[in-house]
């Protein structure tokens, strides 16, 4: 089970990071400032989630 968790965290982090980069690249193409700010917020949340996935689990 531990191996599956490691794979899920690694690939989850990779997928979230690549998705955040794709969204960030489209920000400069937008003319509307509200859409750009929304995408910036989305990128921030995706990167936070990717960082959270890579944190070691707390052991009790």
Would you state the pLDDT for residue 47?
Answer: 82
Tell the burial category of 20 from Cβ atoms under 10 Å away from its Cβ (0-12, 13-18, 19+): buried
Residue 56 has pLDDT above 80, yes or no: no
Average pLDDT over residues 20-34: 80
Beta carbons of 52 and 19 less than 8 angstroms apart:
no
Average pLDDT over residues 25-43: 82
Average pLDDT over residues 17-42: 81
Q: At 60, is the pLDDT very low, low, confident or very high (cuts 50, 70, 90)?
A: low
Q: What is the pTM of this model?
A: 0.61
Would you state the pLDDT for residue 1?
Answer: 60
């Amino acid at each position: 089970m531990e191996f599956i968790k490691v794979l899920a965290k690694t690939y989850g982090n990779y997928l979230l990071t690549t998705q955040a980069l794709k969204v960030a690249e489209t920000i400069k193409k937008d003319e509307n400032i509200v859409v750009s700010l929304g995408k910036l917020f989305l990128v921030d949340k995706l990167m936070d989630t990717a960082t959270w996935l890579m944190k070691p689990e707390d052991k009790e």
